[in-house]
A and B are shown apart, each in its own frame.
Chain A
Amino acid sequence: MQSSNAATTRRQRFDQFVGIYHQDMYRYAAWLSRDKAVAEDVVQEALLRAWKSLDALRDDSSAKQWLLTIVRRENARYFERKRLETVDIDNLTASQAALLAVEEDRELDDMRQAIYELDDDYREPLVLQVLMGYSTNEIAEQMGLKQGAVLTRLHRARARLREKMAQR
Chain B
Amino acid sequence: MNCEEYRKAIAAEPSFDGGAAHLSECAGCQAYRKEMQELDRSIGRALSLDVPELVLPELPDIDNVTTLPKRRRPALTFLALAATVVLAAFVGFRMIDTGGEYGSLGEELLAHIDHERGALVVTDVPVSDDLLAQVVPTSIARLDQNTGLFTYARTCPVNGKTVPHLVMQGERGPVTIILMPDEKISGPETVEGESVRGVILPVGDGSIAIFGEREEALDNIERKILDSVSWST
- Asked if B70 and A115 sit within 8 Å, CB to CB, the answer is no
How many residues on the A side are at the interface (Cβ–Cβ under 8 A)? 55
Interface flag for A18 (CB, 8 Å): yes
Binds B, one of A40-48, A65-73, A77-85, A88-96: A40-48
Interface flag for A20 (CB, 8 Å): yes
Which chain B positions have C-beta within 8 A of A15?
134
Which chain B positions have C-beta within 8 A of A3?
64-65
Q: Which residues 1-38 of B sit at the A interface, judged by CB distance below 8 A?
A: 8-9, 11-14, 35-36
- Asked if A131 and B71 sit within 8 Å, CB to CB, the answer is no
A136–B36 CA distance with the chains assembled, in angstroms: 17
Partner of A111, one of B14, B46, B61, B155: B46
Interface flag for B100 (CB, 8 Å): no
Which chain A positions have C-beta within 8 A of B130?
19
Binds A, one of B77-85, B102-110, B111-119: B111-119
A6–B55 CA distance with the chains assembled, in angstroms: 24
A18–B46 CA distance with the chains assembled, in angstroms: 23
Partner of A159, one of B11, B46, B66: B11
A158–B37 CA distance with the chains assembled, in angstroms: 11
Residue of A nearest to B117 (CB): A130
Interface flag for B47 (CB, 8 Å): yes
A112–B55 CA distance with the chains assembled, in angstroms: 26
Q: Which residues 1-55 of A sit at the B interface, judged by CB distance below 8 A?
A: 3, 6-7, 9-11, 14-16, 18-20, 22-23, 26-27, 30-31, 36, 40, 44-45, 47-48, 51-52, 55
Interface flag for B39 (CB, 8 Å): yes
Interface flag for A107 (CB, 8 Å): yes
Partner of B66, one of A45, A55, A107: A55
Partner of B47, one of A7, A48, A131: A131
Interface flag for B187 (CB, 8 Å): no
Partner of B44, one of A45, A47, A130: A130
Interface flag for A76 (CB, 8 Å): no
How many residues on the B side are at the interface (Cβ–Cβ under 8 A)? 46
A29–B70 CA distance with the chains assembled, in angstroms: 29
- Asked if B47 and A130 sit within 8 Å, CB to CB, the answer is yes
Which chain A positions have C-beta within 8 A of B135?
19-20
Interface flag for B94 (CB, 8 Å): no
- Asked if A6 and B39 sit within 8 Å, CB to CB, the answer is no
Residue of B nearest to A158 (CB): B11
A108–B41 CA distance with the chains assembled, in angstroms: 11
Task: Report the minimal beta-carbon distance from B45 to chain A, rounded to whole angstroms.
Answer: 6
Q: Which residues 116-154 of A sit at the B interface, judged by CB distance below 8 A?
A: 126-127, 129-131, 133, 136, 150-152, 154
Which chain B positions have C-beta within 8 A of A14?
59
Binding site for B on A (CB under 8 A): 3, 6-7, 9-11, 14-16, 18-20, 22-23, 26-27, 30-31, 36, 40, 44-45, 47-48, 51-52, 55, 58-60, 99, 105, 107-108, 111-112, 114-115, 126-127, 129-131, 133, 136, 150-152, 154-155, 158-159, 161-162, 165
